[in-house]
A and B are shown apart, each in its own frame.
With several copies, the nearest count.
Chain A
Amino acid sequence: MEYTSSELLAVVASRELAGRRTVFAGIGLPTLAASLAHLTVAPELETVYESGVCGAHPSHLPQTIADAVLITGAEAVLSMPALFGYVLQGGHIDVGFLGAAQIDRWGNLNSSVIGDWHSPTARLPGPGGAMEVMANAREVFVVMRRHDRRSFVDELDFCTSPGPDRALAEGFRPFGAGVTRVVTELGILGRTAPGDELRLVAVHPGVTAARVREATGWELAVADDLTTVEPPSAGELRLLRDDVDPARVYLR
């Protein structure tokens, strides 16, 4: 079956949620991935949103992390002190999904500025809760639609959300593993523990390691056991199209 880039990313990310209990999801691809995982590899997965929603059962696919349809019928809606303090900082999140404008080889993220913080070329939205997700989730998955040298950089313009290596370097003991998976249009980068660099662990069908290295702003290491991503199955695609996003809110 044919599939789009969005469908590929959603399916690949959903598979990574196998066996996880709780996921902190943003809107768009992470929500698609979590919703598909409910139907496939992680039926009991509890999706938690920054807005305070735990265990959403929305009637429609949500358009924001605070969409009214996420609240009606949810299992719990918590205040932000409880959500950020007890749930996230308390260590209850297995996987957090994040995006960013820039990522480096250790999985540090920039979502604040392009250029100098004091007089930026481009002012981006900033940290939001990403810094908290990075510091407190057991691991972080990054989904980046575009894989190019503007986003996969040798050096961040600004480090908004630091991985555990930067925390350790400043003498703080990190809680989680930081970014362990980066899913892009070209393949999957992986990393297991503080000290590790992100390495190319899988490519999508038809993509070469050389092409991924070319699109990456640092000397990207390639895993010895580099694999090719299993394409979305007919079953996965059917669930995604018919059950998860029948109105094609995010699937294009």
Chain B
Amino acid sequence: MPRSTPDKTTTLREAVAAHVRDGDTVSLEGFTHLIPTAAGHEIIRQGRRDLTLVRMTADIVTDQLLAAGCVRALVSSFVGNSSAGSLGELRRRVEHADPEPLEFEEYSHYGMVCRYLAGAQRLPFYPLHSYAGSDLPRVNPGIRTVTSPYAGERVHVVPPVNPDVTIVHAQRADRAGNTQIWGLTGVQAEAVFAARTAVVVVEEVVADGVVRSDPNRTLIPAHAVDAVVECPRGAHPSFAQGYYDRDNDFYREWSAISAKPDRLRAWLAEWVYGTADHGEYVTKLGEGHWAGLAVGEALSTPVNYGRRL
């Protein structure tokens, strides 16, 4: 009676080649945790152009995609290098159209979440309470209002976003795409469900039995996933809970790297164009570097799903 699950595993190179096209709307999600950096780097290596990038927290990987000339438009709710400083390329493009303008659609965090919720649920809009009195609706015509048919009060709404492709990073999946995430889970499931195509990049592709021992841990079921890529350490410089820690030094360093266009481009030449794939990037960082990001063990107490006797 069990189904035989399809095998959707592939390489990052093949997944990006097959699913990310020039002009696409691409969502890369991961809130501080599990940022799909390796996927961003592969998009840069393959030279995609005119992308509309959708990402709540536009941070280092966004700055890199901008500097590589991949991005025409950005949809985001926070454009900063976390608390470590600024995104140099982003600021140059927004403040000085240097080297070219950037179309920018600004929402709040929950506004972005609601856009994914509407997209995932095939709704024409999603209501929220955030924008009453803000100047944001004046510069973003996507933010509108609806009048409730009950007490008649108005409420703000945002439109759905349905990315051509969503790419997320996760700890583990089976080969069919059943994806398990723990620690911060952010908006990854909604971003995947909202997308026409979805690629999941994981630290480990695991045996079916591992996933099925804990089906509640599966936040993204196989039918929502088109490709599964095993790419260990693919979230660096962000972190993967239980696998490696955040590279806080690199975040601080990025503010200096990105402050100078030449230095930023030299960094891309060395670390992205200069590496054939994420495996080379990982090796180039060196085992000493990775040892500094290693984490210890804090295992969850197992739960019993039960078995019919």
Is the pairing of A and B real? yes
B142 interface contact, C-beta 8 A: no
Residue in A closest to B153 when the chains form the complex, CB atoms: A173
Asked whether A64 lies within 8 Å of B5 as measured between CB atoms, the reply is no
A163 interface contact, C-beta 8 A: yes
A169 to B120, CA, bound (A): 27
- Interface-centre pick from B6, B193, B213 (highest chain A CB count, 10 A): B193
- Decide yes or no: A169 and B133 within 8 Å by CB, A75-B212, A86-B190 being known contacts: yes
A2 to B197, CA, bound (A): 46
Asked whether A86 lies within 8 Å of B215 as measured between CB atoms, the reply is no
Asked whether B32 lies within 8 Å of A51 as measured between CB atoms, the reply is yes
Residue in B closest to A66 when the chains form the complex, CB atoms: B32
Contacts of B178 in A (CB 8 A): 55, 75-76
Q: In the complex, how many angstroms separate the beta carbon of A39 from the nearest chain B beta carbon?
A: 7
Q: In the complex, how many angstroms separate the beta carbon of B57 from the nearest chain A beta carbon?
A: 8
- Residues of B within 8 A of A (CB-CB), count: 82
Asked whether B305 lies within 8 Å of A87 as measured between CB atoms, the reply is no
- Residue in A63, A89, A127, A171 whose beta carbon sits within 8 Å of that of B121 in the complex: A89
Contact with A along B102-125 (1 / 0, CB 8 A): 000011111101000100111100
- Decide yes or no: A120 and B3 within 8 Å by CB, A21-B223, A129-B110 being known contacts: no
B130 interface contact, C-beta 8 A: yes
Asked whether B106 lies within 8 Å of A112 as measured between CB atoms, the reply is yes
Contact with B along A43-84 (1 / 0, CB 8 A): 111111011111101111101111111011111111111101
Residue in B closest to A45 when the chains form the complex, CB atoms: B3
B60 interface contact, C-beta 8 A: no
**Chain A positions 138-171 with a Cβ under 8 Å from a chain B Cβ:** 158-171
- Residues of A within 8 A of B (CB-CB), count: 92
- Decide yes or no: A68 and B245 within 8 Å by CB, A76-B221, A127-B108, A169-B133 being known contacts: yes
A229 to B78, CA, bound (A): 35
Contact with A along B157-194 (1 / 0, CB 8 A): 00000000000000000101010001111110110011
- Residue in A87, A92, A172 whose beta carbon sits within 8 Å of that of B154 in the complex: A172
- Residue in B95, B107, B189, B215 whose beta carbon sits within 8 Å of that of A74 in the complex: B215
The 5 closest A-B pairs by CB, nearest first: A166-B133, A162-B133, A125-B80, A66-B32, A172-B132
Which B residues are closer than 8 A to A by beta carbons? 1-6, 31-33, 57, 76-80, 82-83, 90-91, 94-95, 106-111, 113, 117, 120-123, 128-136, 139, 153-154, 174, 176, 178, 182-187, 189-190, 193-194, 208, 211-213, 215-216, 218-224, 239, 241, 245-246, 248, 295, 298, 305-308
